[in-house]
Chains A and B, each alone.
Chain A
Amino acid sequence: MRKITFKIQRFDGQESWIQEYTLDHQPGKTILWALIQIKETLDPSLNFTASCRHAICGACAVRVNGQATLACETPLDKMLKRWESDTLILEPLQNFKLIRDLVVDWEPKAERLAELKPWLMPKDEFNKESGCRQSPEDFKKINKNSDCILCGCCASECNKLSGNNSDFLEPFVFTKAQRFVADSRDKNPVERLSAAINHGAWKCQHCQECVTKCPKGLSPAEDISNLRQEAIAKGLVEHSGVRHAKAFLDDIQKTGRLNEGMMAVKTDGLVKSIGNIPFALRLMSKGKLNPAHMFPKPIKEVAEVRAIILAVKESEKARNIANAKRSEAHTNPDIQRPKEAAK
C-alpha cells in the first residue's frame, strides 16, 4: 500500500514542533480530507479550521510545501505529482498570529482591513428606501473583486508583509479597497485611494505571489497597480512612489533603458539621496550598479519603445472617454437610454 507522509507544524500556544503522520494513499482526495483523516483516525489533538468544504468560506487556508492554498479544493494527488514526493509539509499561514497548530488569528486582520474603510459610501442621489442604480458594465467592474473570501492566502505569501508589515497592508485589503474605488455607486473613491497610498500602495514589490496564490483567481497586485494609477489620475501625486514611477517612464521613453543611478535622486530628491551614497557604493562593489551607466545612450530600437508607450497612452485615453460616457448615461436618469426607449 502506498503511504503518504504529512509533516505538520504543531503549536500548543508555547512550543512549536513538527509532527509526522502517515496515511494510506487514496486517489481523488483533497488536502482537507487528509487533515480530517489524521484528526479522526490518528490524532484528535491536531487543530485546523474548515467549514464549507467548497472554497467559499475561506476557513481552511494552509501552506502546503510552502505555498498557501485552500485545503478543501486542493487535490492531494496534484500536490504529490507537483512535488514528486509522497511527503508533504503542512504549515499555518505566514504573516498571521498563530493560535494553535494550523489555526491563525483573524481578529488583528479585521482591524487592518478597516483601515481602508471597505464599505460602500453611497452617492447622495441614492437612498436606503429606493436603493441604487448601476449599469451591467459597472457591475462587471466590481463583480470579480467581490469574489474575495478573506482566506488569507495572499497575505501568507506576500514578501512585502514578511519583510515589514508596519508600512503595508495585506493584499486582500487593497483588493477590497479597489472594489469600492471601482464601484459606480460610491461617492468617495478618493478617501480610499489616499488611505491606500498612506498604507503602502507604493510599497508593493510586484512579486506576484498574491496573484498566483489567490484561490478565486483575483489579482491583488494588479489591484494595487490600479489604485496607484487611479490615485495619480485623482491628483494624489505628492509621493516618492509617483516620482519613482514617473522617473522610470521618463528614462524608458528617453533611452529605452533605466538610469539606476539617477533614479534615487529623481525619486527621493538630492538631499535624501546623498544619505544613500554608502549604499550605492556597496552596490557598486558587488557589481550591482555600474557607474558607467550613469549617462546611458539610447538603445537602437528606442523609436519602437516610444511608439509602444504612445499606443498604450492612446488606448487608455479612449477607454477612459468611453467609461465616462457610459457611467454618465447610467447615473443621470434624464438621459434616454436607446435600448429602453426601444422597448
Chain B
Amino acid sequence: MLKFDILVIGSGGSGMQAALVASSQQGLNVALMSKVFPTRSATCCAQGGTNAVLKNADPTDTIEKHTFDTVKGSDFLGDQDAIEFFCEHMPETIRELDYYGVPFSRLESGTIAQRPFGGQSAPRTCYSSDKVGSVILHTLYEQCLKNGVNVLVEWLLLDLVVENDRVTGVVAMDMKTGEIQPIMAKTVVLATGGAGRMYWLRTTNPFASTGDGMAAALRAGVALKDPEFVQFHPTGLAGTGILMSEACRGEGGYLLNNQGERFMKRYAPEKLELATRDLVSQAIEIEIKEGRGFGEGMQAYVQLDLRHLGREKILERLPQIRDLAITFEGIDPIDQPIPIRPSCHYSMGGIDVTDYRTCGTDLKGLYATGECACLSIHGANRLGGNSTADVVLFGKVAGKAAAEAAKTLDFGSEQKVNELVRQWENSFSSTVARTDGPSVASIRDRLSETMWYNVGVFRKESEMKKATQIIDELIAEYKKCVVGDPSKIYNTAFVQYTELGNLLLVAKAVVMGALNRKESRGSHKREDYMNRDDENFLKHTIISKQGSQYKLSYRPVVVTKYQPVERKY
C-alpha cells in the first residue's frame, strides 16, 4: 500500500509550494497527487499579476496600505489578523519566487515591475507580461523537478479517510490504470482549487475546477466557510467566458456601454474602471439589464476598449490578451473594442481553515490552501492579484505545518481505508454498468443554468429557493445518471461523473449560504436586501454536512484595526 508522511493533493501553485516545502525537510516521505499533469493546473490561467509591497514602482507603498486595501476589498468580511499576516509575508515570498527563477517583468533598476490593479492604493501587482500564473506554475514545476518531488500524475481524489477524528489517508483512482487505490498519509494538504465550473460556460475557470477537495472535505465532516461568495470577473469574453485580465483595465482600458459612455463614472467616480471586481461586475449587469448593453439574453455584453492604449503598449503589455481576443472573438483589440461580460472567476469561500498560521482545519491532520481553502483573507470580494499571492504564500505555510505535524503522528489503520476502497470499487462497477438514465452533461447543464440565473451576480430569495429545489432534484437524479463508458483505463467519463457529484455538493452549500445571508456584501448582491448589514451579518457562514443534511452556523469576523466603514471607490 502507498504510504506517505505528507500527501499534497492538487498541483497548482499552492500544492507545489506545499510539496516543495514539505519535501525540503529531511526524512519525510512526501507525495504530490494531481488529476492533471502539474502544468495544466488552474494557476496557469492567472494573467495579471501578484500583489506584494516591494515598493519598486511606488516607494510610498506600505504593508498597512496593502492590508487596508484587502480588508476594504473584502467588504470587511476578511479576518484582519489573517490579512495582516498575508500582507506582511508577501514581499519575501515574491523575492523567493524571483530566486526560484520566475521571469518577472523588470523596471530599469532591475527590480520586479509592478502595475496598478483594481481596488488598490498603489501599483503593487508584480507581473510577467500578462502570464504571471503560467510562469509561476512552470517555475514551481521546475523546482519540483530539481528537488525530485514524487508526483502521482493523473490520480483522482475520491474521498478522504477519517478515523478516530483525524485524517488517515485518501482513496484515489489511478486514472491510467483505473485502479482504485488506498493511500495512507499522516497528514493531507488539500490544494485542489475552486469550483467555478458549477457555472459551466459562464466561467473563466478551466474544466478541472470542480471543487473536488471542497466536496471531499464536506463528506469528511469538515465545514465550508462563506461558500456564497463567488467572484464574477467583470471581463470574461462574451462568447466563451474566457478571461481578459484585469491588467486590461490596470493598463488603462475603458468599459463602454452602447451609448459609447464610460459608465463606471456613475458607479465609482474616483476609481472608474479600477474599482473592485464585485462593483464593476454589478455595474456591467445593471447596464445590460437597463438596456445599455449590446445583444440580448445570454448573448448580451458591454465593451472593453483598449484602442487608445496604442499598438505598442498592447503588444508589449497585453500580447496574450490580444491573441485570445483574436482567436476566440475574432477581434483585434488594437482596432476594435472587445465584447465582454462578467464570468464566474473565483471561490472566495472554501474549506474552513481555522488557523491561518498553519492552514489547519478542524479535522486533525487535514490542511487546506489556495482557492479550495477559506482563511479568510478575501472575505466577500478578492482583490485582483491577491489569489496568486495567497497561493504561493499559504502553500508554504500549509506544507510546513503539515510536515511538522507528520513528525508527531503515526499512520492510521489499513482496515478503514481498504473498506472505503471496496465501497468505491463497488460504486464504480455499478455506476459504469448503468445504461438507462440522464447523462452527466444534461445534469451539469441544468446545474450551471440554475446557478447563473438564480445565484449569479444579482440574487433574490424567490430565485434562490427555486435553485435550492432544483439542486436537490439534480442530486437525486445524479444517483441514476449514466456514465456511458465501462472501461477502466483513463475513463474521463467517470472522472467527469465524479466531478459533477462534487460540484453538486458544493453548489448546494453556495445556495444555502446565499439564501440565508440577508444582506448585500461584496460579490453577494441581493436585490431584496440591497445594503450591507454589519449588525446581523458581519460574520462568516459555516456550512457542514451530516448525512444528506446541511447544517448552517456563523462565526464572528476577526477585526483588529479597521472598523467597518462604507465602501466607496
Contacts and interface: CB of A to CB of B under 8 A. Distances in A.
Interface in B89-107: 92, 94-101, 103-107
A47 interface: yes
Contacts of B103: 139, 142-143, 146, 179, 183
A53 B196 CA distance: 14
Contacts of A337: 108-109
Give the residue among A57, A107, A146 with the most B Cβ atoms within 10 A: A57
Interface in B101-156: 101, 103-112, 128-129, 131, 134-135, 138-139, 142-143, 145-146, 151, 153
A126 B99 contact: yes
B541 interface: no
A148 B141 CA distance: 13
B33 to A, nearest CB: 13
B327 interface: yes
B131 A119 contact: no
Contact of B131 (A45, A132, A147, A185): A147
Given A139-B103, A146-B103, A133 B153 contact: no
A142 B176 CA distance: 35
A53 B197 CA distance: 13
Contacts of A24: none
Interface string B327-365: 110100000000000000000000000000000000000
Interface residues of B, number: 66
Contact of A129 (B92, B135, B493): B92
Interface string A99-134: 111010111001001100111101000111111111
B45 A44 contact: no
A137 B131 CA distance: 18
A3 interface: no
Contacts of B45: 52, 54, 56-57
Nearest to B134: A56
Contacts of B491: 47
Interface in B215-246: 240, 242-243
A134 B492 contact: no
Interface stretch (B157-165, B395-403, B480-488, B559-567): B480-488
A51 interface: yes
Contacts of B176: 99, 105
A51 B439 CA distance: 20
B143 A119 contact: yes
Contacts of A248: none
Contact of A128 (B95, B134, B243, B485): B95
Given A51-B207, A131-B99, A133-B111, A118 B240 contact: no
Interface in A58-117: 58-59, 73, 75, 99-101, 103, 105-107, 110, 113-114, 117
A48 interface: yes
Contact of B492 (A48, A128, A330): A48
A55 B327 CA distance: 10
A208 B548 CA distance: 58
Contacts of A43: 484
Nearest to A111: B145
Given A49-B492, A119-B143, A127-B99, A57 B40 contact: yes
A73 B327 contact: yes
B490 A149 contact: no
A122 B99 contact: yes
B485 A44 contact: yes
A287 interface: no
B441 interface: yes
Contacts of B240: 53-54
Interface of A: 12-13, 28, 39-40, 43-45, 47-59, 73, 75, 99-101, 103, 105-107, 110, 113-114, 117-120, 122, 126-136, 138-139, 142-143, 146-150, 179-180, 183, 185-186, 330, 337, 339-340
Given A44-B439, A136-B108, 8 more contacts: A48-B492, A52-B40, A57-B41, A99-B176, A128-B99, A134-B106, A136-B106, A183-B103
Closest 5 CB pairs between A and B?
A120-B101, A44-B484, A131-B95, A131-B98, A133-B110
